[in-house]
Amino acid sequence: MRNGSVRHRPFFKILVANRGEIALRVMRSARKLGLGVVAVYSDADRDALHVREADQAVRIGEALPAQSYLNIPAIMAAARASGADAVHPGYGFLAENEAFARACKDAGLVFIGPSPQAIEAMGNKAGAKEIMKKAGVPIVPGYQGAEQGDEVMLAEAGKIGFPVMIKAVAGGGGRGMRLVTDAASFPEALRSARSEAKAAFGDATVILERAIQNPRHIEIQVFGDSHGNAIHLGERDCSVQRRHQKLIEEAPSPAVTPELRAKMGEVAVSAVKALRYEGAGTLEFLLDQSGAFYFMEMNTRLQVEHPVTEAITGLDLVELQLRIARGEPLPIKQQDIKFSGHAIEVRLCSEDAAQDFMPQSGRMARWQVPEGIRVEHALQPGSEIPPFYDSMIAKVISHGANREEARGRLIVGLEQLTAFGVTTNQAFLLSCLRHPGFAKGEATTAFIGAHRNELLAPRADAAFEIALAGLLLYVTNPRAPSWQGGRSLAATFPLPAKIDIGGDAHELDIMRERDGSYTVAVEGRQHKFEIDQLDPDAVRFRLAGVMDSAKFLRDGDRLYVQHRGIPLVANDLTLAAPKATSTNGGDGKVRAAMNGRVVAVLVKPGDRVTAGQPVLTLEAMKMEHVHKAGIAGVVGAIDVAEGEQVTTGRIVAVIGAG
């Protein structure tokens, strides 16, 4: 025990300085311990579920993160107004902000996390690497210097050798991170990484690291208390990533042996004890194919993926945080920790995987979660997905006696989940889980890049899905006679239809047969459907003697339909006028692909550009997205300025042929 340093720190009401499913997750454990909970919200979240579920809620600003969830004075004022005596930062936003932890302490509030000194020491990637290096922990070669000039950074990148990684010193989650393969593309990548880091964390400082090819991303969950005790809860494998952001996490890792787990865990616990660290933390490592591991960073907070550790240990990690913050000793010793089975988590994100994971915003018209599987979310039918925050909208977690059982349960759970109204990565996640490489436990950080074409390939039954969508548009058309089962004596003749799915138009012929069935001809194939039951939100049908079902939602001429977990959106174009313009920039007009903020205008009127040349960069959901010229020519007009908010589809630049 640390003499004189341990004291009881009682608290009774917690303000959760976060939003969405993160806030709800913290509230659940707080209430289990009999604690009151206070939510904070921006204008965009006024009607959000975490606000409704809290005992009290306090407005802290406008929609943009810099004006709300990163606003320390506003959050301190909210704590005073609500009478909260403790603050939980959640994960993300201010969770690893030393100034926030210190402000809580100065205000007499218990900060549910490590000390400001520990956050400062480990929250800065450059400083953390130096501390670990002195402790003998293997470090990825790189540059962590204070000199951040463009020429210095380029020179240091050359010394390290390409490819290199640019990483934001503050924060995580892939923001402010860029893989650079050559010197020519380094300056723009550096500018973009700094801009993204500044927007997400308020700090544009970056470090450089040698890019280790095809590693595993392994992290060790640790806890320390104010009595000098420290434990690790094993590892998580977070290798399946896109845009350097985790997509699928699992525990334990298929690549970590008991011997390697013990070695990595010992290193992690030694670091916690050396720091006199209190609370939850995660040490992140790269594991190469030879079994060597290299320290990357320490996250001084709980991780998004903590549920998989909870599943295999049976522990409530938020409850552990709360007990440690109250001054209690850890209730479990290292030798008592047992691992049971296997757990896998997927992050359901509002993004379009087929469009380079472009973030999506809008209204969630229908939201249903499966029973028998853990789903962390803060959604309900009608929830708005704003463009200002992270694109992750839910986490789906499975647990099984072994990895294959956990994988199977997760696939079934995802198939049963329904999210209509906003494009999500649901189908892409299913493709990943079903891929032979993932099934064998072989996925590294290169998994999505190496298998992207396979993961996004059209499904073998795509023609059937088109036929089903066309049939549902026909039988649910409010302008057509209502569907009735049974035979008909009316003459039969095909009715032409045209639908759009994913930007591709399809011609169909739909005919009701006299026996009451429907024949849908599409792409030279005929599909005969027998509808047994048609409800307002689901259909039960037979095809080739097999009974099947699908969920759907009709919204005007738009239809959302989901069959065996694969959602798609179909638009009825049968009576629609042809579109006069292109949407991909082929007409010379560059359109905003999402709601977002202009962070960089890369050309000016009169500049000559080539097809595919970057024109401007938008930031949405804390990520930057480059918009490119659709044709070669001369820039005629730029209709936006840096810092301006734009809406989806707005013309932001016009390029004339030349």
Q: What's the distance, CA 534 to chain centroid?
A: 35
- Centre a 10 Å sphere on the Cβ of residue 515 and count the other Cβ atoms it contains: 11
Phi and psi at 232, nearest 5°, equal: -120, 150
301 catalytic? Reply is: yes
Tokens of 363: 């209204």
Start-end of H helices in 218-374: 258-275, 306-313, 317-325
Can you tell me the distance from the alpha carbon of 529 to that of 517, in angstroms, rounded to the nearest whole number?
Answer: 6
- Give the DSSP H/E element, type plus range, for residue 428: helix 426-434
Single out the catalytic residue among 301, 403, 512, 597. 301
In sequence order, the β-bridge partners of residue 540 are 533, 549
CA 474-477-479 angle, to 5 degrees, is: 125
With CA atoms as reference, report the closest residue to 593 among 519, 646, 540, 536. 646
Tracing tokens 């005919």 back to the chain, one arrives at 511
Closest by CA position to 396, among listed 364, 363, 429 = 429
- Which helix or strand (DSSP H or E) is residue 581 part of? none
The DSSP-derived string for 264-299 is: HHHHHHHHHHHHT--EEEEEEEEE-TTS-EEEEEEE
Question: In Å, what is the CA distance from 492 to each residue of 213, 542, 604?
Answer: 62, 20, 60
Q: Are 581 and 347 in contact (CB under 8 A)?
A: no
Residue keyed to tokens 């013990």: 262
Residues marked active site are found at 301
